[in-house]
Amino acid sequence: MRNKNFLPALLFIGVVLLTGFLFFRGQPEVAEAGTSQNIIGWAWSGNIGLVSMNSRNCDTDNDGKSEGVPSSCPALDTPIPDYGVNIASNGNFSGYAWSNNIGWIRFDPAGPYPASPAYSVKMDTVTGVISGWARALANGGGWDGWIKLDGLSVNASNGNFSGYAWGSDVIGWLSFSGVNYQTQTTFHFNAAPVVSDLSVEQGDYCSFPLHPILHWVFSDADSAGYGDYQDAYNVQIDDDSNVAVAPLADTCLPAPGTCSSGHTASSYAPLISFSYNSTYYWRVKAADNNSAWSSWSAVASFTTPIHAFPDPDFSTVSQKISKDEFVQFCSTLQAGVCASNVSLCYNSSGGTISCSGETFLWTFPSGTQFSTTTSATSENPKVKFSSSGPQTVSLSITDDAGTCSVTKNITVSKPLPKWKEVAP
């Protein structure tokens, strides 16, 4: 500990006299009760002695009266106001500590601040490192009362403070951990989330281009009890396994993209154009609502279907379809029966080919009769409707990439007359 502080001795004495008056009389408004503040214990300075961080140091049963111990506390049953220093969930300090020598020390004093940083005391909620300014309220008469908290931190595993603050010549070095004193907090340190179980949903590629949907599982030790949830994510996709370098897509570019708050979905549908029969690689990381990021997941991969899905369609040979009359349905080119490939399938080169030879399944209204040579699994069935009016007909085609279907409404007319009436 340095001792270079006799210069302002007169001021120091004045402060002591002033705070003797202040002690438990001119107390500032204390926003929170001592029990609701999460810092307790003592700090110590060679110049001003012990600094109490919470009224519970001397009033352990919180009945507003001192227990009289330890010896730095007011005598037994001396009234004690509720006070204390608190760390909010965002790391900002508030509240007051008490020194028998210099009175109240406020941990969220208003600026302007005497030097950088330009803020009152706060803690990094991940590292526990403390920075910013506190201020002794007895400042004045040439003493600014500022205390710079720099080189001070909280051990996230046990809440113990360590290190020093510098409080000008009056206070000197203020230590938060020593043989006979310790400042500590019950502040809950945020746990970083974890992403796992990456999966890809390939879905239906009949109507839309390739649109794999990427899924992951977000977990956070603080979900239970503290309600943590995913608030941002970053997905990178690439066509080589080195996803980190020059990815095809990065959801946080242009910034901030999905790295900004409010991105709670644990799935993502990439907007890039995928190719068939190709392998893609991806990884994801996510942040909780306290802005703590997970590590990147391991790189996962998926392969797109070997080619585009079938594009089924059909027509009828005759324009007019009548009840109880056979009508030829056409899906593929068949010599002497159907004139063209109405349905189209695809090969691995991306070209269109006939669907002939793939798996066909037709659905006609009940009561529809097939010709003797065709059935519901024919490429080009010939059928006779048993009802007139609008009828629903569907065709699905399955190839080695997938299954797609088409449904159309057919209008079936009343039966044709069996004979023409001829005038006698």
Residue 333, burial from CB neighbour count under 10 angstroms (0-12, 13-18, 19+): middle
**Considering only 15-23, 64-72, 312-320, 414-422, which stretch makes contact with Ca ion by CB under 5 A?**
64-72
Nearer residue to Ca ion within complex by CB, 213 or 244:
244
- Helix count (H) and strand count (E) of the chain? 3, 29
40 vs 154: CA distance, rounded Å: 13
Does 250 interact with Ca ion (rule: CB under 5 A)? no
Nearer residue to Ca ion within complex by CB, 118 or 246:
246
Number of other CB atoms surrounding residue 191 within 10 Å: 18
Q: Could you tell me which residues come within 8 angstroms of residue 140 by beta carbon, excluding any fewer than 6 positions away?
A: none
Least distance (Å) between residue 412 CB and Ca ion: 58
Least distance (Å) between residue 244 CB and Ca ion: 7
Site string for Ca ion, 183-202 (x = CB under 5 A): -------xx-----------
**Considering only 15-23, 181-189, 244-252, 375-383, which stretch makes contact with Ca ion by CB under 5 A?**
244-252
* Residues within window 394-423 making contact with Ca ion, judged by CB under 5 A: none
54 vs 80: CA distance, rounded Å: 11
Say if CB 108 and CB 121 are below 8 A apart. yes
* Residues within window 288-327 making contact with Ca ion, judged by CB under 5 A: 288
Of 1, 76, 213, 246, the one binding Ca ion (CB under 5 A) is 246
- Give the angle subtended at the CA of 317 by the CAs of 316 and 321, to the nearest 5°: 65
Does 222 interact with Ca ion (rule: CB under 5 A)? yes
Of 50, 167, 174, 228, the one binding Ca ion (CB under 5 A) is 228
Does 144 interact with Ca ion (rule: CB under 5 A)? no
42 vs 179: CA distance, rounded Å: 11
**Considering only 5-13, 49-57, 60-68, 381-389, which stretch makes contact with Ca ion by CB under 5 A?**
60-68
Nearer residue to Ca ion within complex by CB, 68 or 140:
68
Own/partner pairs, 293-298, CB within 8 angstroms, 24+ separation: 293/192, 293/193, 294/192, 294/193, 294/194, 294/195, 294/218, 295/192, 295/194, 296/244, 297/195, 297/196, 297/198, 297/216, 298/198
Number of other CB atoms surrounding residue 7 within 10 Å: 10
* Residues within window 162-181 making contact with Ca ion, judged by CB under 5 A: none
Could you give the 3-state DSSP secondary structure of residue 13?
Answer: helix
Q: Given the DSSP bridges, would you call strands 321-322 and 403-413 parallel, antiparallel or unpaired?
A: parallel
Nearer residue to Ca ion within complex by CB, 241 or 352:
241
Of 90, 116, 242, 359, the one binding Ca ion (CB under 5 A) is 242
Least distance (Å) between residue 186 CB and Ca ion: 17
Of 10, 21, 63, 261, the one binding Ca ion (CB under 5 A) is 63
Does 61 interact with Ca ion (rule: CB under 5 A)? yes
Least distance (Å) between residue 111 CB and Ca ion: 31
Nearer residue to Ca ion within complex by CB, 143 or 282:
282
Does 236 interact with Ca ion (rule: CB under 5 A)? no
Could you give the 3-state DSSP secondary structure of residue 18?
Answer: helix
Say if CB 75 and CB 44 are below 8 A apart. no
Nearer residue to Ca ion within complex by CB, 138 or 259:
259
Number of other CB atoms surrounding residue 85 within 10 Å: 30
Q: Which residue is listed with tokens 């069935």?
A: 381
* Token duo for residue 349: 């080169």
Does 238 interact with Ca ion (rule: CB under 5 A)? yes
* Cis peptide bond prior to 117, omega within 30° of 0: yes
Of 245, 255, 271, 335, the one binding Ca ion (CB under 5 A) is 245
141 vs 144: CA distance, rounded Å: 8
Please give the single-letter amino acid code of residue 144. D
Does 230 interact with Ca ion (rule: CB under 5 A)? no
Instruction: Write phi, then psi, for 358 (nearest 5 degrees).
Output: -85, -175
Nearer residue to Ca ion within complex by CB, 82 or 358:
82
Size of the site for Ca ion (CB under 5 A): 15
Least distance (Å) between residue 242 CB and Ca ion: 4
Contact footprint for Ca ion (CB under 5 A): 59, 61, 63, 65, 190-191, 220, 222, 228, 238, 240, 242, 245-246, 288
